[in-house]
Every structure is written in C-alpha cells, then in structure tokens.
Amino acid sequence: MTAAVRFRSAVSLLGRFPALAGVDLDVARGEVVLIQGPNGAGKTTLLRACAGLVAIASGEAEVLGHDLRRDRRAVRRRVGLLGHTGSLYDDLTVADNLLFAARAMGADRRVAEDAMVRLGLDGRLRDVPVAKLSAGQRRRASVATLLARRAELWLLDEPHAGLDADGRDLLDALVRERVADGNTVLLASHEVERARTLAHRVVAMAGGQVHVQPANVVGREPLGVS
C-alpha cells in the first residue's frame, strides 16, 4: 500500500522565503500524526502543501499516491483541510454550505444531512446563515464540510480552536472514527496534551524542516497524555 504522505527534500517558497526548506516526512495510511513546532516553523505551510494549495518548488512530494508537483487536482479531491479560516460562505445557510461541499465531490444530499446531524447542526441551526453562527458553531460547520467531502486525508490546523468542550470531544471522536475506517490525519496543534491523546506519532518542525520523525507506528495506541 502506498503511503498517505511521502515528502523527500521538499521545498516550498513563499515569495523567496523557503517556508518548507527540504522536508522529509512519511505518514502511513491510518496514522494520526501530530506536527509540533513554534510559530513560523512551517506547520501550516506543510498542511497546505499536503492539500495541494502550496506549490512544491523542488524535491519529491506524494499524497495518497499522487505526485503533488504534477497532479494537485487529484490530491485536492481526496483531502480535507481545516485551516485557520472556515472556508464557508457567510451568506449561505449551514445546509447550503454543506450541500455545496458535498455536491462538489459528487455526493448527494444525504451525505450533507448526515454531516449536519453528526456535528449537531441539524434542527434550527441548519437554516441559519453562517454569518449568524457563533465562532464555535462556525467551527463545527467547517468540520462538517470535511465529513461532507468524504476526505481520505484530514489536514487539521489548530482544529480545537474555537470549539467548546463538547465540540472538542466530538472532533476527537470523529478523528478516531476516521482513522478506524483507514483514513489518515495530520494535525498541527498547540494544545499538545489533547492532541497527543489522538496521535500515534509526533514530528517536530522548526525552520521549515522536520527535525524529528520517529518511525511509523501504525496500529499502536495513540500516545496518550504524557
């Protein structure tokens, strides 16, 4: 089976600045990998590169078996990115947003409905414009779009930000479910203790490089609270 993510000396430039300065990274399918590092380490850029949103200037980069330098569109159809922004249309309702996300991926209304139910956005919230949601509800709607997209690789950038305790527990449960179904999760989080309860492995980033990459440990229990 091909790796979910395989980077070799991958370089990404933001202008002239090497946001990824020769990254080597292997992530197996079914693994949850926590990316740690200080601000500016390149965590967000790495996640965006995995989503095919940041170009790889040199080196090798494969995601879900697709070469990121040649076939970014194929990668994008199979990944879901939960970034700092919600990627939602403010004037559309929750249902409209999820339906658009689902239909763009060729899924039907039922997938969007299921995602709303799973995130507790059914009922009165489904027909509320996103602009009128609280920050936590917006975050839930963004997570729901990942479900509606049926992504195989979840790329989560500070996923717990803005969520209340129930929302955080729900997100963790969803991550565990996705991984149990054979999907893969890369997450960057400053909430290390919580993230470690999900992760099989932690990689450390600094200066646009992965400095510590322990061997893949698929099948092992998550690291748990240290």
Partner 1 sequence: MFRDAALVAGKDLRVEFRSRVATNQVAPYALLVLIVFAFALDPDRGFLTKAAPGLFWVAVVFSALLAIQRSFTIEAADGGRDALRLSGLDPSGIFIGKAGAVAVQLALLEVVLGLGVVVLYNAPLGGAVLLATTCVLATVGLAAAGTVFGVLVGGLRVRDTLLPLLLLPVLAPLVLGATRATEYALAGTPADGWLWVQLVGAFAAVYTAFGIVAFGPLLEES
**Residues near partner 1 (CB under 8 A):** 51-53, 73, 76-77, 79-81, 83-93, 96, 100-101, 103-105, 129, 145
Nearer to partner 1, 26 or 67 (CB): 67
CB of 150 to partner 1, least distance (A): 11
Comparing CA positions, the residue from 157, 212, 209, 215 lying closest to residue 8 is 209
Nearer to partner 1, 92 or 170 (CB): 92
CB of 151 to partner 1, least distance (A): 9
Question: In 15-123, at which residue ranges do the beta strands (DSSP E only) sit?
Answer: 17-27, 32-36, 58-63, 66-67, 79-82
Task: Give dist(CA 220, CA 32) in Å, integer.
Answer: 10
Nearer to partner 1, 139 or 196 (CB): 139
Nearer to partner 1, 92 or 223 (CB): 92
Comparing CA positions, the residue from 28, 18, 1, 19 lying closest to residue 203 is 28
Task: Give dist(CA 108, CA 44) in Å, integer.
Answer: 31
CB of 200 to partner 1, least distance (A): 25
Nearer to partner 1, 5 or 28 (CB): 5
Comparing CA positions, the residue from 88, 159, 153 lying closest to residue 99 is 88
Phi and psi, residue 213, nearest 5°: -130, 90
CB of 224 to partner 1, least distance (A): 32
Say which residues have a Cβ less than 8 Å from residue 6's Cβ, sequence separation at least 6.
Answer: 25, 26, 27, 60, 61, 62, 63
Nearer to partner 1, 130 or 203 (CB): 130
CB of 134 to partner 1, least distance (A): 15
CB of 79 to partner 1, least distance (A): 7
Contact 20, 208 (CB under 8 A): yes
